[in-house]
Amino acid sequence: SQAPNTRRACVMLALHSGYLGLLCDDARVLANFVQQSFDIPASMQLKESPIAALVNYEDGLACISTASRIEAFVALAASSQERKEH
């Protein structure tokens, strides 16, 4: 299938099991973001979420994640899709 034109960036993540490429509208590596980050409100926290924290960025919020959190989320989504297909 064709990637949408808005997906201009491809981020490659090094995982324990290999590499994962994500198509994104935008991705940034932010320096010193940990000191500026804040926890996701308790009412919005999901155990399986790839989002670890939030940070103020430009005129909004940016999501902070890690390769291991994204890897776990992708594995969960793939497993869920396999169950739906069988």
Here the tokens at position 49 are: 């979420």
Q: Quote the pLDDT of residue 7.
A: 81
Q: What is the per-residue pLDDT across 8-67, written as a single tens digit (0 to 9) for each?
A: 788 888 888 888 888 888 787 777 776 788 899 888 888 889 998 998 888 988 888 888
d(CA 8, CA 25): 6
In this structure, the strands spanning 37-38 and 53-57 are antiparallel
